[in-house]
Amino acid sequence: MTPVFLVTGAAGFIGSHSVDWLLRHGWRVVGVDNLRTGRLDNLADARSSPNFTLVIADAGDEAVMRPLFQQHRFAGALHLAALVSVPESFREPGLNYRLNLATADSLARWCLDHDCKRLVFASSAAVYGTSAPLPNRESTLPQPQSPYAAAKLAAEIMLLGYAASYGLEAVCLRYFNVYGPRQDPGSPYSGVLSIFTNRFQRGLPVTVYGDGEQTRDFISVRDVAECNGRALTRQSVQSGRYNVCTGQAVSLKQVLVVYRDLFPNAPPAQFASSRIGDIRHSLGDPALLQGMLRYNAQTSFARGLRELVLNHG
Ligand code: UD1
């Protein structure tokens, strides 16, 4: 029998690409999503596969999840379901606690109870905070500065505690700035590349907050899905926390240069004052995950952005 993997947040941006990766590699997948921020459209390909089952439910709903674990005897779980907006975590700390910490803890315990050996967890570069030395390394002391980052870090600690206590294989992946097709441009706090692409395609000017010299470690969702898939399915992994990044810093000004090639007639960018709390530079060291998965991010920024523009909308 082909092993079955659980993916929570399956209809989300990263979730749907991860489901596609698993199906492409011949695995069976049960996806769970409550469609709070996920979209069924993202799963259009997956839903035509006989190897995919979608369950519309909250990943923390024990009445739904325990029977799923019993029925499918999952070989591993990829936990991506989350409250994904940092500003929302400030407004709704109780919801943030439930969705970003309590559900991760529940899933880890259901894995242990039902012999699902591995849990791959979506953490975030946000756990490093603003004052960690660059590039961020996993050995750095994290300093979360939002309820979101605090819950992600607390979930990492719970999962790694279960790894030490009960032998769960817990792989916590700290995503840096993920971009690519299916990222929702709908809020001002959506990823900058989804917003810029959406605006350029409508012939509208983009707004750069600050001087445009701020840098980010942008990683394509294709590479992220590959890391997720490998972390979930490879024979052996080492429990721990791992950066998912490229190790390359790209400034917003450099971003605009690539867009200029793709939209030569676009109106010039407008500049506005920096956002409160904005980080100047974010950059990760990818070495630890590269060593474990034998995989380097393959998509150059220019190619990834071109692909995003061609697949958008
Ligand atoms: C990311 C998270 C954010 C989190 C932070 C902490 C995303 C989408 N956001 O923010 O929730 O608090 O990490 O690590 O992953 N920008 C513009 N114009 C726009 C939109 C954004 O100039 O229209 C700028 C922002 O001010 C920022 C940069 O682009 O300087 C990147 O913004 P964004 O994509 O929101 O990501 P982070 O700031 O890294």
Regarding the beta carbon of 215 and ligand 1, being less than 6 Å apart is answered: no
H or E, element range at 158: helix 147-166
pLDDT reported for residue 301 = 97
Paired residues of 169 in beta bridges: 118
What is the percent of the chain with per-residue pLDDT over 90, rounded to a whole number? 96
Mean confidence (pLDDT) of the chain: 97
Closest Cα to atom 1 of ligand 1: 177
Regarding the beta carbon of 227 and ligand 1, being less than 6 Å apart is answered: no
pLDDT reported for residue 153 = 98
Regarding the beta carbon of 84 and ligand 1, being less than 6 Å apart is answered: no
pLDDT one-digit tens code per residue, 201-239: 999 999 999 999 999 999 999 999 999 999 999 999 999
Of the candidates 111, 10, 18, the residue with the CA atom closest to the CA atom of residue 54: 10
User: Rg of the chain's alpha carbons, rounded to an integer?
Assistant: 19
Topology of the domain covering 4-179+220-245+285-298: Rossmann fold (3.40.50)
DSSP state of 297: -
pLDDT one-digit tens code per residue, 162-182: 999 999 999 999 999 999 999
Which residues are known to be catalytic? 148
225-228: which pairs have CB atoms within 8 A and are 24 or more residues apart?
A: 225/14, 225/17, 225/18, 225/20, 225/21, 226/21, 226/295, 226/298, 227/173, 227/289, 227/293, 227/295, 228/14, 228/18, 228/21, 228/78, 228/80, 228/120, 228/173
pLDDT one-digit tens code per residue, 261-310: 999 999 999 999 999 888 999 999 999 999 999 999 999 999 999 999 98
pLDDT above 60: residue 85: yes
pLDDT above 90: residue 111: yes
How do the residues of the chain divide into helix, strand and coil, expressed in percent and rounded to 5?
40, 20, 40
| Total-model pTM | 0.98
